[in-house]
Structure 1
């Protein structure tokens, strides 16, 4: 098995805990990256840099001529003409710096992953069975950078003032996948496979594990729906709760044709679906808390399950607060950030309750 304890002769070289702490550090950087990305989206900063320059773009503009060149490029995109015309160099610099920080942080994550990885590999500290997954993570990180540019480029099209919601959801989903793989891999190194339990105890744990899985996948679906809320700016409409313009199901829920477009482009349907999935997740989390208190003894698994339930409730309340205040940048960014916390708590709970190997 990939996370079995190595033979004693190899213990002097392998450092699973060191590898785990490194992966968790990278996961923390990804978490911050998601927060910065949320602020970038909400401030409309993402289209301020019209060039994809993985190496030369590391440094910000160092002369007035370079600032002017980049500003002139930005003035060619529809967002400038339709939203920001005449806001001047100072206005441009405000949105530029946030997008530059977003891209710089992505480069920092790449270095924070690659350099320790090569050093640990050279030192023989990484279990051999783990190498394919670590190379996959590196490849997915590079792919995420390309997806980011693919998303940004969609905002340069005529009559667009923001990026494509489909590409935004793809970019956000990949960030969640990377974060999840990093955390799950680290947990596997820190907490090896559990020993076999008596059948009755394993049955009780199985009940809670299924509840965790339901809550986790509902939370993931809610995050996906939230990506379309963000991409279509649906959160700036229907800013009442729990009703939407006085109705439980908003008028015009199925206005678009073909009908599947309502799931991703109809503002009323997009926001309603996000609300519905969030409510189902909240109910699943409440059931999880009850199941954990009834069936689990004190310990990591019980604590992780209760933290997951609490994080879902906190995220639900934060979502309502963000909505009724018409998505201020601070609350919107925090809402996207706490979503990663829900994901982390769910992974810890699921991992703590996994069944022993056969």
Structure 2
């Protein structure tokens, strides 16, 4: 809790540091986009602010779950349920990391207005992989920056991470449904398909409707809801 308190205090500084970048020449923070850019905060600093906020939120949420269910062993009845929980938790851990990474890619979409790069789905106009992404990969001089600054590349990366998160979450749900889990764990994983399906639909609608603010905010909240659901699953699978 001390660490979370320290992070909370630091958020004021990180927020100021982020806002301060909006007064700089945008080319200072995103040089690959060239001169005459629209004034905006640095997507890198926006991502830092969002990452700190998610870290604080995740820590508080985990502690709240621990207060509600302080004894993991009480959830699992029998050795089979314990073994199943351990096995599923190993599978759910990388999926949780993928969800977190998808959330962390969101500020680069917002900070670069990447939601306006392509407003078609499932393809990006006529391509599954946009030519900008292929050009970025083949250009070693700007390759790493393109993944954080080029609007088409940033959107493609966010889409790809989202697909991986959805596939992984559904995999946890399907695999877990076949295991002898406790009632609490079995109930927790039932929330996953609903959360990821709603979030994916929100993301597609936001994209195809040219990113209205209301849907953009809802999509951001949906991402936090998916993360919360996955944290609940991970907490329930403790042994």
TM-score range, shorter chain: 0.7 to 0.9
Matching of residue 176 in structure 1 with residue 54 in structure 2: yes
SS of the residue aligned with 2:8?
helix
Rounded Cα–Cα distance in structure 2 between residues aligned with 1:201 and 1:303: 14
Runs of 4+ aligned residues of structure 1 deviating over 6 Å after TM superposition are none
- Alignment of 1:248 with 2:115, yes or no, is no
Count of residue correspondences: 222
Shift of 1:285: 1.2
1:151 and 2:31 aligned:
no
Q: CA RMSD in A?
A: 1.7
User: What residue number does 1:272 align with?
Assistant: 156
SS in 1 for 2:71: coil
In structure 2, the residue matched to 1:137 is: 4
Cα deviations across residues 92-125 of structure 1 (Å, max 9, x unaligned)?
A: xxxxxxxxxxxxxxxxxxxxxxxxxxxxxxxxxx
- Inter-partner Cα distance in structure 2 for 1:292 and 1:250: 35
CA-CA distance at 1:189 after TM superposition? 1.9
1:309 is matched with 193
Aligned partners of 1:288 and 1:309 also within 8 Å? no
Alignment of 1:20-59 (within 5 A): none
TM-score when normalising by structure 2: 0.87
Q: SS of the counterpart of 2:169? A: helix
Whole-Å separation in 1 of the counterparts to 2:188 and 2:111 = 32
The Cα of 1:252 is off from its aligned counterpart by 1.7
- Cα pair 2:18 2:45 within 8 Å, conserved: yes
Instruction: Say which structure is richer in helix.
Output: 2
Which of residues 45, 63, 69 in structure 2 aligns to 1:167? 45
Which digits, 9 at most, give the CA deviation of each residue in 1:44-73, with x for residues without a partner? xxxxxxxxxxxxxxxxxxxxxxxxxxxxxx
Please point out which of 192, 202, 207 is paired with 2:87: 207
For structure 2, list consecutive stretches of 5 or more residues without a partner in the other structure: 27-37
**Shift in Å, 1:298:** 5.7
Give 1:299 deviation, angstroms.
2.4
Larger Cα Rg: Structure 1 or Structure 2? 1
Alpha-carbon distance in structure 2 between the residues aligned to 1:237 and 1:259: 18
8 Å Cα contact 2:81-2:182 kept in structure 1:
no
Q: Which runs of 5+ in 1 are unaligned?
A: 1-132
Q: What are the within-5 Å matches in structure 2 for residues 54-73 of structure 1? A: none
